[in-house]
Amino acid sequence: MDKNNYIGFICVGNELFYSVANTNVHIASRICELDGFEINFNIIVPDDMDKIISAVDFCMKNSDILIISGGLGPTFDDITREAISRYTGRKLVFSDDVWKEIQQRFKERKIVNIPEKNKKQAMVIDGTSVISNTIGTAPGMMIQHNNRLIFLLPGPPWEFEEMLRNSVMPMLRKSIYHAGGLFVRKGFNIAGEPEAVVEEKTDKIRDEVKNLGGEWTILAKPYLIELWLKIPSSKKKVFDRVEGALKEIFQDSFIGNYSIPEKLAGILEEKKMVCCFAESCTGGLAGHLMTEIPGISQRFNGSIVAYSNRVKRKILKVPRSILRKYGAVSEQTAVAMAKGARKYGKADVSLAITGIAGPTGGSIEKPVGLVCMAVALSNRHIETKSFYFSGSRSTIKIRAALAGIDFMRRVIIQNVA
Amino acid sequence: MDKNNYIGFICVGNELFYSVANTNVHIASRICELDGFEINFNIIVPDDMDKIISAVDFCMKNSDILIISGGLGPTFDDITREAISRYTGRKLVFSDDVWKEIQQRFKERKIVNIPEKNKKQAMVIDGTSVISNTIGTAPGMMIQHNNRLIFLLPGPPWEFEEMLRNSVMPMLRKSIYHAGGLFVRKGFNIAGEPEAVVEEKTDKIRDEVKNLGGEWTILAKPYLIELWLKIPSSKKKVFDRVEGALKEIFQDSFIGNYSIPEKLAGILEEKKMVCCFAESCTGGLAGHLMTEIPGISQRFNGSIVAYSNRVKRKILKVPRSILRKYGAVSEQTAVAMAKGARKYGKADVSLAITGIAGPTGGSIEKPVGLVCMAVALSNRHIETKSFYFSGSRSTIKIRAALAGIDFMRRVIIQNVA
């Protein structure tokens, strides 16, 4: 608490599955954390008097600044104003100025008969500074109480974001609460390495970052480890040293701030190559991931999703004998699929993915999660690899698709000048 | 607190912008609230000992059950175990059984050298019940403390969801904490209708539900409107009446509690038909969505992702003259693609999707968001349809894929006996 810049964020609302709350948590963290403040608690709480008061009390004890979104509307279940009034012991008073503003907002929307219940929105907490709402009708409020700043902001994400960014942050930046210790964040991605391996290999550089007062966070995503660094602005040159160290440690696994598909797109662009996929167990997911990248049509011809053996034979021309001898999930079948995709897809390089996504269809020799891959280059160079993925059907699919895309990238790096 | 079924959910993690936290908040609310529990507080808290303990203490005072996700990994910043150990005053002890399970998980992944760090994951809180992790290495834990149940679950959303759904909920349902279902929730899905239309057409039945003390929530998803009802258990028969009313109002657009792909899979199964796709702008997403359904290989042969015109010509045999005369994004090209997919994919019915996902590539006649589709049946019956979708590239892709899958379903219903 010595830093004076902890924010407790409370999101009030009775909504199902919290999609608005989650949006506001995301907005608040983006705006506040990139501006040198830290949100130490995010609390999502229903429109319930006792629960709101409990959450406020908790944040008053643990944070320097409280930002509360939601519950400022005109309807019966909007009770945030009332909750703060009770908690602080300050009365709610009718504000003529606020009422005029609300009337103005309705006028702009060409609404003549203002519902009587909107008068509720002109009730403000005694001693509050009112924050104008340039988009909606609910004004925001700022209250100083027990050495804390409390902000009441509207719940709809676009109104919340506008008021937080353009009214609250400028006030906070000028306040004693802004510690002045601005920091910067940066993310680095590492493909295909287990979290514990990344952790072990980065011991030294991590200590260095921490000794400089930085933070180092590891996030495990499918087939990807994200490292997030937070460093005092004055020391941001350390990012270059971290990047250099990570490159040296992880070599081709280090992909900077790109995603796995973006990194493949980059290498295809660099080598002026066109690729094509043949997918079985991933069902089109590898193609979908590549085509999330705008402009990829120059480098990606398509994907033959050969889910049935019939399509594998008919379109990819996988010989019946190979399917019979080795089975659909085998490196041999993957090779035949990759060859077919490269040829009929008219590509410089192709990737084939065939596996067992489950939950059924596994055996002792070929368990659920086994995925065989092949990458074929136009110089007849072919590489294969088998993976054993764990997880649900969806998880196996996403891991397989990303591992396949990453495998193609590595084969190109190692074999194409 | 008289109901005994309040859950405090704490999401631990130092992640930027809270995307994992938000995902877990969503998962927790969906699973717990559909099962008759209420989450009274969601708290998102960084990997910080004091803050985790404060959040736990707060929930111990306000909820009956604590569910904590995250911070169980093998790395230095995974401190949830330690925090609960300190809070409860129970020691951390090494579990041979858990260590064996972790070794087994590595063995399945063919990893021989288990990082020393992972031993940390075999440390459990004294007196805990261990919950096996069938996907990742971090086991879950259940602790009874001061008349509360505390669950520690892993942070990665797929592991968290699996464990919450399949291990925690069955325990909770059998416990004294399950109030016997004070209310029940049910979701009904409507495909391809705008939110405002659904709202307007459901006026009467919505009022009826509300008059019975129920809640009625509309959630807009891509190409789908979800209606969520919450009703006192004693009145759950009203669900049948709502279902009947929705069926009558929305006819083929009403798809019950199925997703759009599941509903197509159902009709294919019913009619014993096999389908195949030809995708351009969706890049494999339609195939991906279908193959999320276990066992779909009986009904789905594959998808030809013909992203380039070359693949459209070469594999789907779309005549060059059609591409030249009408362009790749046209109903004529969609028809040729659908015919090719049905023939070479050896299917009873095929769907073709071709469009402009953007952000570039649009024109005045063919703007970004235009998507042309065709469905071909084996009796030579072909139907086409064009859509104008708004949104980002990703949004257009997902809307197009779902609209295409839904279009195939409607064509089958209307044309196949």
Instruction: Give the residue carrying structure tokens 């399949």.
Output: B166
pLDDT at B34 over 60: yes
Residues of chain B positioned with their CB less than 8 A from the CB of A262: none
Here the ipTM equals 0.81
What domains, with CATH codes, occur in chain B? 6-174 (3.40.980.10), 183-253 (3.30.70.600), 260-415 (3.90.950.20)
Residues of chain B positioned with their CB less than 8 A from the CB of A348: none
Could B294 and A359 be called an inter-chain contact, meaning their C-beta atoms sit closer than 8 Å?
yes
pLDDT in tens, A280-336: 999 999 999 999 999 999 999 999 999 999 999 999 999 999 999 999 999 999 999
Highest mean pLDDT of the ranges A190-199, A223-232, A263-272, B9-18:
A263-272
pLDDT in tens, A223-247: 999 998 888 878 888 999 999 999 9
Could A311 and B301 be called an inter-chain contact, meaning their C-beta atoms sit closer than 8 Å?
yes
Among chain B residues, the shortest Cα distance to A42 is held by B44
Predicted pLDDT at A33:
77
Annotate A133-144 with DSSP letters as a single string: -SSSSPPEEEEE
Among candidates A41, A300, A310 on the partner chain, residue whose Cβ is nearest the Cβ of B43? A41
For residue A34, give how far its alpha carbon lies from the nearest alpha carbon of chain B (Å).
10
Annotate B21-64 with DSSP letters as a single string: HHHHHHHHHHHHHTTT-EEEEEEEE-S-HHHHHHHHHHHHHH-S
For residue B19, give how far its alpha carbon lies from the nearest alpha carbon of chain A (Å).
7
Could B304 and A302 be called an inter-chain contact, meaning their C-beta atoms sit closer than 8 Å?
yes
Of chain A, the percentage scoring pLDDT greater than 90 comes to 70
Interface test with B, best of A201, A204, A288 (most B CBs within 10 A): A288
Residues of chain A positioned with their CB less than 8 A from the CB of B277: 305
Could A315 and B344 be called an inter-chain contact, meaning their C-beta atoms sit closer than 8 Å?
yes
- Give me the torsion for CA of A110, A113, A115, A118, rounded to 10°: 60
First CA to last CA across chain B, in angstroms?
56
pLDDT at A1 over 80: no
Instruction: Give the residue carrying structure tokens 């409990």.
Output: A54
pLDDT at B256 over 80: yes
Predicted pLDDT at A77:
81
Q: How confident is the model at residue A2 (pLDDT cuts 50, 70, 90)?
A: very low
Interface test with B, best of A303, A372, A388, A397 (most B CBs within 10 A): A303
DSSP-assigned letter for residue B254: B
Among candidates A29, A195, A308 on the partner chain, residue whose Cβ is nearest the Cβ of B18? A29
Q: Which residues of A122-193 form beta strands (DSSP E)? A: 123-125, 129-131, 140-145, 148-153, 183-191
Among candidates B40, B115, B287 on the partner chain, residue whose Cβ is nearest the Cβ of A46? B40
Contacts of residue A216, Cβ cutoff 8 Å, sequence gap at least 6: A202, A206, A209, A210, A227, A228, A229, B77
Interface test with A, best of B2, B22, B106 (most A CBs within 10 A): B22
Of chain B, the percentage scoring pLDDT greater than 70 comes to 97
Omega before residue A294 within 30° of 0, cis? no
How far apart are the C-alpha atoms of B81 and B121, rounded to whole Å?
9
Predicted pLDDT at A180:
54
pLDDT in tens, A167-210: 999 998 887 776 555 677 788 999 999 988 999 999 999 999 99
pLDDT in tens, A350-373: 999 999 999 999 999 999 999 999
pLDDT at A58 over 50: yes
Nearest CA to A253 out of A188, A190, A343 is that of: A190
The mean of the pLDDT values for chain A is: 91
More reliable by pLDDT, A410 or A187:
A410
How far apart are the C-alpha atoms of B136 and B87, rounded to whole Å?
26
Residues of chain B positioned with their CB less than 8 A from the CB of A372: none
Q: How confident is the model at residue B17 (pLDDT cuts 50, 70, 90)?
A: low
Among candidates A200, A288, A302 on the partner chain, residue whose Cβ is nearest the Cβ of B117? A200
Q: The tokens of B228 are what?
A: 């969520």
Q: How confident is the model at residue B285 (pLDDT cuts 50, 70, 90)?
A: very high
Pairing of strands A65-69, A6-12: parallel
Locate all alpha helices (DSSP H) within A177-301, ordered by sequence: 195-201, 203-211, 238-250, 260-271, 285-290
Residues of chain B positioned with their CB less than 8 A from the CB of A291: 281-285, 307, 357, 397
* A287 CB-contact burial (10 Å; exposed 0-12 / middle 13-18 / buried 19+): buried
pLDDT at B1 over 50: no
Question: Hey, is B128 helix, strand or coil?
Answer: coil
Q: How confident is the model at residue B261 (pLDDT cuts 50, 70, 90)?
A: very high
pLDDT in tens, A133-151: 887 888 999 999 999 999 9
Q: How confident is the model at residue B178 (pLDDT cuts 50, 70, 90)?
A: low
How far apart are the C-alpha atoms of A233 and A213, rounded to whole Å?
11
Residues of chain B positioned with their CB less than 8 A from the CB of A307: 287, 291, 296-297, 300-303
Distances (CA, A) of B262 to A68, A94, A358, A405: 40, 54, 17, 28
pLDDT at B348 over 50: yes
More reliable by pLDDT, A105 or A238:
A238
DSSP-assigned letter for residue A214: -
With b meaning 16 or more CB within 10 Å and e meaning fewer, what string describes B376-405? bbeeeebbbbebebeeebeebbbbbbbbbb
Nearest CA to B267 out of B348, B357, B356 is that of: B348
pLDDT at B309 over 50: yes
Among chain B residues, the shortest Cα distance to A229 is held by B16
Q: How confident is the model at residue A49 (pLDDT cuts 50, 70, 90)?
A: very high
Could A17 and B30 be called an inter-chain contact, meaning their C-beta atoms sit closer than 8 Å?
yes
How far apart are the C-alpha atoms of B362 and A376, rounded to whole Å?
34
Could B311 and A295 be called an inter-chain contact, meaning their C-beta atoms sit closer than 8 Å?
no
Q: How confident is the model at residue B244 (pLDDT cuts 50, 70, 90)?
A: very high
Among chain A residues, the shortest Cα distance to B118 is held by A196
pLDDT at A397 over 70: yes
Predicted pLDDT at A183:
72
Mean pLDDT of A101-112: 83
Could A51 and B41 be called an inter-chain contact, meaning their C-beta atoms sit closer than 8 Å?
yes
pLDDT in tens, B368-400: 999 999 999 998 899 999 999 988 899 899 999
Distances (CA, A) of B98 to B26, B78, B92, B189: 29, 17, 13, 42
More reliable by pLDDT, A265 or B210:
A265
DSSP-assigned letter for residue A221: E
Angle, nearest 10°, between helix axes A203-211 and A238-250? Answer: 170
pLDDT in tens, B98-147: 999 888 888 887 878 888 888 999 999 999 999 998 888 889 999 999 98
Could A283 and B297 be called an inter-chain contact, meaning their C-beta atoms sit closer than 8 Å?
no
Nearest CA to B300 out of B284, B283, B281 is that of: B284
Residue type, B159: E
Of chain A, the percentage scoring pLDDT greater than 70 comes to 97
How far apart are the C-alpha atoms of B279 and A287, rounded to whole Å?
10
The residue count for chain A: 417
Residues of chain A positioned with their CB less than 8 A from the CB of B74: 195-196, 199
The mean of the pLDDT values for chain B is: 92
Omega before residue B319 within 30° of 0, cis? no
Predicted pLDDT at B2:
45
Among candidates A277, A390, A393 on the partner chain, residue whose Cβ is nearest the Cβ of B108? A390
Contact at 8 Å (CB) between A267 and A413? Answer: yes
Instruction: Give the residue carrying structure tokens 């999930």.
Output: A329
Q: How confident is the model at residue A158 (pLDDT cuts 50, 70, 90)?
A: confident
